[in-house]
């Protein structure tokens, strides 16, 4: 389970027994009095399980994985090709995968040189980043990708809230990799506005990316973007 300062969820025998949300730079913000405060189950809306199939993909050189802590799904898939960054040190320490490098870093201010990577991935991490910061993250990813480089994104689709009392979204996931299956759950403060694939496509194009592949599934989506060669 992705345990972040944006959302901490405890799952026990399939039941949500508690959730606390804490603010962190680059993550969804909240009021100071809410930090580390247990969330009432009445505020949590649990979505149907998302069945996420992650197929192996070709990649030249190193892969920059944004939010690569927690389960470290991309690290489990691509191993020593991966440079995993995360804002939370413990997330990187707890990841079961063994990427080439694990670095504490803010996706809004990547410390890499221009054109450093041929592939970047963002696996269910944008959901933890405040929507107001998404545009900056796209700009940074565009900068560090080499011309012809690809950006692969998997993330949830946030529908409009129908019950204002349910302001915490919980997404159980069944992640299918080529050689294993991961069962987990991600929880986060529910954004006030709808946030789906079109939101990310708009920002990606604004940053300079071209959309190569777009697939919308039940509750989640996949995008393949490219930084075109000059």
pTM given for the model: 0.86
**Residue 106 CB contacts under 8 Å (≥ 6 apart), including other chains:** 25, 26, 87
How far apart CA 170 and CA 48 sit, in angstroms, is 9
Whether the Cβ atoms of residue 225 and residue 212 lie closer than 8 Å to each other: yes
Question: H or E stretch including 5?
Answer: none
Query: How many Cβ atoms are within 10 Å of 215's Cβ, its own excluded?
Result: 11
Angle of helix 197-207 relative to helix 131-144, nearest 10 degrees, comes to: 50
List, in order of start, the domains of the chain with CATH numbers. Answer: 45-226 (3.40.50.150)
Structure tokens at 146: 């080499």
Structure tokens at 60: 């030249």
Structure tokens at 115: 């054109």
- pLDDT tier, 223 (very low <50, low <70, confident <90, very high otherwise): very high
Query: How many Cβ atoms are within 10 Å of 70's Cβ, its own excluded?
Result: 27
When computed from its CA atoms, the radius of gyration of the chain, rounded to whole angstroms, is 17
Neighbour order of strands in the sheet with 145-156: 101-104, 82-86, 63-66, 117-123, 145-156, 220-226, 210-216
Q: Tell me which of 13-27, 40-54, 67-81 is least confident.
A: 13-27
In the predicted model, what is the mean pLDDT of residues 39-62?
A: 95
Q: What is the pLDDT of residue 38?
A: 77
**What does the pLDDT look like over 175-198, one tens digit per residue?**
999 999 999 999 999 998 999 999
In the predicted model, what is the mean pLDDT of residues 29-57?
A: 79
Q: What is the pLDDT of residue 37?
A: 65
- pLDDT tier, 13 (very low <50, low <70, confident <90, very high otherwise): very low
Q: What is the pLDDT of residue 225?
A: 98
Whether the Cβ atoms of residue 221 and residue 197 lie closer than 8 Å to each other: yes
Read off φ and ψ for residue 20, nearest 5 degrees: -130, 145
**Residue 55 CB contacts under 8 Å (≥ 6 apart), including other chains:** 178
Read off φ and ψ for residue 80, nearest 5 degrees: -75, 0
């Amino acid at each position: 389970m992705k345990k972040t300062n944006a959302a901490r969820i405890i799952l026990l025998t399939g039941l949500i027994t508690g959730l606390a949300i804490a603010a962190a730079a680059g993550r969804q913000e909240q009021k100071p009095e809410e930090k580390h405060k247990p969330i009432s189950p009445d505020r949590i809306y649990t979505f149907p399980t998302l069945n996420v199939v992650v197929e192996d993909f070709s990649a030249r050189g190193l892969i920059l994985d944004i939010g690569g802590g927690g389960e470290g799904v991309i690290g489990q898939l691509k191993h020593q090709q991966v440079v995993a960054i995360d804002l939370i040190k413990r997330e990187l320490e707890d990841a079961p995968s063994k990427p080439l490098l694990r670095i504490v870093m803010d996706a809004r201010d990547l410390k890499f040189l221009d054109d450093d990577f041929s592939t970047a991935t963002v696996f269910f991490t944008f959901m933890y980043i405040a929507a107001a910061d998404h545009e900056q993250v796209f700009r940074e990813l565009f900068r560090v990708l080499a011309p012809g480089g690809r950006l692969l994104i998997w993330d949830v689709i946030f529908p409009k809230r129908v019950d204002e009392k349910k302001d915490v979204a919980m997404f159980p996931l069944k992640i299918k990799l080529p050689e294993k299956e991961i069962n987990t759950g991600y929880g986060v403060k529910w954004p006030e506005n709808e946030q789906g694939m079109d939101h990310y496509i708009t920002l990606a194009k604004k940053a300079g990316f071209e959309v190569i592949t777009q697939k919308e599934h039940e509750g989640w989506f996949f995008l393949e973007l490219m930084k075109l060669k000059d």
